[in-house]
Structures are given as structure tokens and as C-alpha cells.
Amino acid sequence: MIAIIGWIDYITGVRVSLGLFYLLPITLSVAWLGGREACAAAVVSIVVRVAGDLESGTYHYPVTAFWNRLADLGMYLVIIWVFHALISLWRELELRVRLRTAALEQALRARDELQAQLFEISRRERSSIGHDLHDGLGQHLTATAMAASLLAASLSEARQPTVGDAQNIVRMLQDAISQTREIARGLLLAAIEPDELISELEELAATLSQEGGPRCHFTWRGPFEGLDAAISSHFFYIAQEAARNALRHARPSHVEISLQAVPGAIELTVTDNGPGVSPRAGSPGMGLRIMAHRAEIVGGEFSVEPAAGGGTRVRCRAPLSRPAVPPANP
């Protein structure tokens, strides 16, 4: 490039100065080769310009030609220094960005691993407590209820006035047994396998319909290829929390739980026909924050938005490890 510019400079003569055009190869030398190579390119440019001046007969002595080009050489060196400093600063910033990005990615991976470990530890602890309640306390209460029932039968045969108290004790024990079984079942559902998700959501909808009064309906479209236990568990608890929130706060007449396979992901929606999301609502409650956190753990997206016909729709979408095949009706 210096040779080509020097040849054009020689042809045009002294009437047209191409001194600024030499900056192109000089700056490219700074960017591609380095500061020393750029200084060498600047010196070569001055030599080419002086050679052209001497060849054109402008100067009779080389010393005079070199002396007159010293100002141009100084300008080239200053530009090299400034440009080299800017490039060095830019490369340093780029290196810092890469290092910090790598550190952030490592921290995110560590956080995800920690969340997975905490979830697994919590699952094991909940499962252990659930088994203890079901196999230990539940069996003990059952035996106590049987003993109280026998006592009530004996008091009834003896026509004792305390038979009513004994029967009340039997009823309270039976209620305690039912509550213990429900608590144990909830703890044992800490981890839900993929093949259990559909049946658990169907049972959830049936249970909520019996408890809350409004009709709760569950629909699904699959199959769900690549679904794992983590997504199944978190999706179940998101559906449970969203449906219970709707029944508790919105007081709807209908709640729809929907699970469907979309390309490369699985999507859960819980829709109610209540009054809808208030635009003046303040910060989200604990339930919404927990649901959003569960979606984040499985790498999903969580949103709460107004439903099409009124009401509220809670939506959660998470990627699957394998692409889902086109959905089919069950």
C-alpha cells in the first residue's frame, strides 16, 4: 500500500500532496501488527516520499528533503501513539468483558447447581418426613383409634355415660389420621416423575373442585418427550399454587389447568374467569415470587397476564431436553 501511494504521489507531483493517504497503511499497521511495525511503516512512508521528491527534482540534496519531512514523521508518530493507546484500551476492555462474562457464566452455573442440590436435599428430607408420618405416626394413630373404638364399644355394652366421650375421641382420632395422611401425601409429592404428572394434575383438579366449590378442569396435549422429574415437580407445584391463589383471591366460577407440548418446550397455563389482574396491583406476593423462582430453576419463563375473556392467566414455559413431537389429542 505504501508503494502504491508513493507511486501515485510521484505521478501527481508536488502540486498535490498525498501525505494524509499514508496514514491508511500506518493505522492498519497499528491495528494488525503493532506499534513498532507502525513506526517502521511511518519511516518507510517518509523514505518513499523523500525518494519521490528527489526523483522529481524538487530537492537537490537528500538532507534537505528529509529535514522537510520531519514534521510529517512527527505527525505520523503522534497518530501512531494515540491510535495504539486507543486500540490497547479497547482490547483491554474487551478482555475484561470476556473475563467478567466467563466469571458470570460460571457463577450462574454454580447457582444452578446449588439450586438443584438444594432441591434434591429438600426432596429427600420431605420424602423422609412423609414416610415417617405415614408409617410411624399414621400407624400409631390408627392403632390408637382402634383401641378407642374398642373402648367405646365396651362402654356402650356396659351402658356407661362416658360412651359419648369415647366416641368423640374416636372421631377426633379419625380426623387426625386423615390429616396426617394428607400431610404425608403432600410431602411425598415433593418429586413427581414425568409419567405421574398427568395423573397428579387430574387429581389436583378433582380435589380443588371438591374443596373450593368452583369447577376446576384439567386438559393436556402431548406427548412430552424429554420431560424430567425436575420440570414435572415444579410444574405441578406451580399449577397447585396458581389454582389455589385463583380460588382464594379471584373467587372465580371456573379454573382451567392446561398442559401442552410446544416445539422444544412444555407450557403450563392456569386460567380463571375472575375479575382479572388489577393494573394498580403492587408488588407480587410470596406465591407469585415462589412460582417465578420455580420456573427460573428449570430455565423457564413465567408470566401473569389478563386472560382473553376476562380473568387471569398464569403461564409457565420450560425447554425440554429433547424436541417435542407434534402434539396430539389424548
How deeply is 271 buried, as exposed, middle or buried, from its count of CB atoms within 10 A (0-12, 13-18, 19+)?
A: buried
Helices and strands (H, E) in the chain, number of each type:
10, 5
Fold designation for 194-319: Heat Shock Protein 90 (3.30.565)
* Sign of the torsion formed by the C-alpha atoms of 108, 114, 120 and 125: negative
Half-sphere exposure at residue 327, Cβ-oriented, CA atoms within 13 angstroms: 16
pLDDT band at 8, cuts 50/70/90? confident
Q: Are strands 254-262 and 215-221 parallel, antiparallel or unpaired?
A: parallel
Inter-residue contact 229 to 196 (CB < 8 Å):
no
The per-residue pLDDT for range 281-313, each reduced to its tens digit, is 444 567 788 888 888 888 889 999 888 877 899
Other C-beta atoms closer than 10 Å to the C-beta of 306 total 13
- Provide the 8-state DSSP code for 323: P
Closest CA to 237 of 268, 206, 263, 264: 268
Question: How do the domains of the chain map onto residue ranges?
Answer: 2-103, 114-188, 194-319
Q: CA-to-CA distance for 248 and 270, rounded, in angstroms?
A: 14
Which residue type is seen at 26? I
Positive or negative torsion for Cα 317, 322, 327, 330 = negative
In contact, 261 and 324? CB cutoff 8 Å:
yes
pLDDT digits 0-9 by tens, 206-263 = 888 876 567 889 999 978 888 888 888 889 889 988 988 888 887 788 899 999 988 8
271: DSSP letter: E
Q: Is the pTM of this model over 0.75?
A: no
Q: Looking at the chain, how many residues does it have?
A: 330
312's grid cell = 387471569
Provide DSSP, 149-162.
Answer: HHHHHHHHHTT-TT
Q: Which of 209, 204, 213 is nearest to 235 (CA)?
A: 204
* Average of per-residue pLDDT across 13-20: 63
Tens digit of each residue's pLDDT (9 = 90 or more) over 18-66: 667 777 888 888 878 888 888 888 888 877 777 776 666 666 666 666 7
Look at residue 271 in the predicted model and tell me its pLDDT. Answer: 92
Cell of 4: 502504491
